[in-house]
Amino acid sequence: MKMKVPKVTPPAPMVSGLSETFGFSKTVATAIAMFIIALCVLAVVWFVRSAPPSTLTISSGPAGSKYLQFAESYKEILATHGVTLRILHSKGSQQNLHRLQSSQWNVDVGFVQGGIADGKTLSDLVSLGSITYQPLMIFYRSPTPINRLSELMGKRIATGALGSGTHVLALAILRANGITGTTTTLLDVEADAAATGLLNGKLDAIFLMGDSTSIHTLQTLLHSPDLQLYSFTQADAYVRRREFTYLNKMVLPEGSLDLGKDLPAHDVVLLGPTVGLVARKDLNPAISDLLIGVAQEVHQPATIFQKQGEFPAPLEHTLKINDHDELQVSADAARYYKSGKGFTYKFIGNFWLASLINRIAVYFLPLVFVLIPAFRFFPNAYKFRVRLRFFHCYRRLIRIEREAFGELTGEQRQDLLRRLDELEEAVYKLKVPASLADQFYALRGYIMFVRGRLNKPVTAAKAG
């Protein structure tokens, strides 16, 4: 009857290689092999998860607004890089900020002006830099210019729609001038409705900003002979007040809007915050670089209020949200403004190919540079360690052989044989990799040779 021989599954190449190279047991070799595989799998997972998204969502502004125009320009340029930009209309800066803070909207970036007071935490948001100035324009009905905003007390004033940056800034400025809803009629209506009400005489003054107002509406108001554009005669005082440190003083030069009609008829001093491109903190670094590059294309040209190349910029490394809160410029954005695009993105025109090469360099090259030297160093180090043990055994063997020369008493011979037995037992206990098997068996052969010399005189005496 034939006995069934159990089928033995040969160990995996990596496991057997570790066992033969280092002399590890199968369990230890398997554990090390699993660790190396897990490390490689982890690198692959990180590599896949670090891939830039092909679709982004931006919260912009209402139809016809400057913010929406910016977003449309971004969308067109991003499309050339294979990235789709989904644009969400909004009421303005404050709603954009709320959407960025909420996980329900899945908004990646948005336009947010300084001066947006908000009770929620900003820790999950970062600034990619300031992209433009946002002037506040106050139109009012009066045959003669007014010098102080306090002269609007008791009037009917539209302060912008809820959710817009205009509404927040308008209330703050009116409050600083002692104007509140108790003495004045304040209406939170949208820009187009406010403009219509002002033109029809149903409103006395309206606050407008580019985040929530169409260019057409602004042009209509600027060309109306019955309306005045307020010039901030106290502009320097505003920007020095603690609650308005985020405001900037700007001048709309005479005739800058229409030289033929001399609009405006005189220099108009305006106030306004900067607008920041705000993103969630977990925005992919490659996308961050791409967005800043797009922002440079869109916002670098000179305008009435900014010089060529002034924006985008990491102004003071923060975006002032109010007198308490600031949005820090992200580390990726700060690096971009300091050094420009990464090496691969500078020399490779295709965004996705550059991203692929960059991620390979980040996630796999370090692994290769660590594992290859490790596979070279550790086997050599281990072999050297085993050789040191061999050298120790050879030292003991040489000592025994030297003491075996000359005439020996029976007691001395027995002592040397005992020491030789101990040495042989120590050699048997050595964990030797297969790569050093020749040295192991050579050492055992030398031990047998010395044992033969010690036993030879005894054999000769018995023969006599």
- What is the rounded distance in angstroms from the CA atom of residue 43 to the CA atom of residue 325? 38
Q: Which amino acid type is present at position 34?
A: M
Architecture of domain 131-363: 3-Layer(aba) Sandwich (3.40)
* Residue written as token pair 């075996």: 404
Q: What is the pLDDT of residue 322?
A: 52
What is the predicted pLDDT for the residue at 21? 63
> Which of 222, 228, 218 is closest to 142 using CA atoms?
228
Cα–Cα distance measured from residue 73 to residue 62, given in angstroms and rounded to the nearest whole number: 15
C-alpha distance from residue 153 to each of 168, 184, 237 (Å): 18, 6, 20
pTM, 2 dp: 0.72
Q: Which residues of the chain have pLDDT under 70?
A: 1-12, 14, 17-25, 117-121, 316-325, 363-364, 367, 371, 374-375, 379, 457-464
Please list, residue by residue across 206-242, b when 16 or more beta carbons sit within 10 angstroms of its beta carbon and e when fewer do: bbbbbbbbbeebbeebbeeeebbbbbbeebeebeeee
Question: Can you give the length of the chain in residues?
Answer: 464
204 and 156 Cβ atoms separated by less than 8 Å: yes
Domain assignments of the chain as residue spans, ordered by start: 131-363, 383-463
| 370's tokens | 């660590």
Cis-peptide into 285, omega within 30 deg: no
Q: 173-201 as b/e, with b when 16 or more CB fall inside 10 Å?
A: bbeeeebeeeebebbbbbbbebbbbbbee
Torsion of CA 87, 91, 94, 234, to 10 degrees: 120
CA separation for the pair 464, 462 (Å, rounded) = 5
Where does residue 417 rank: exposed (0-12), middle (13-18), buried (19+ CB within 10 A)?
A: middle
Residue 245 is predicted with a pLDDT of 87
Q: How far is CA 282 from CA 16, 106, 108, 130, 348, in A?
A: 43, 12, 9, 19, 25
Specify the pLDDT at position 464: 42
- The pLDDT, as a whole number, for residue 3 is 45
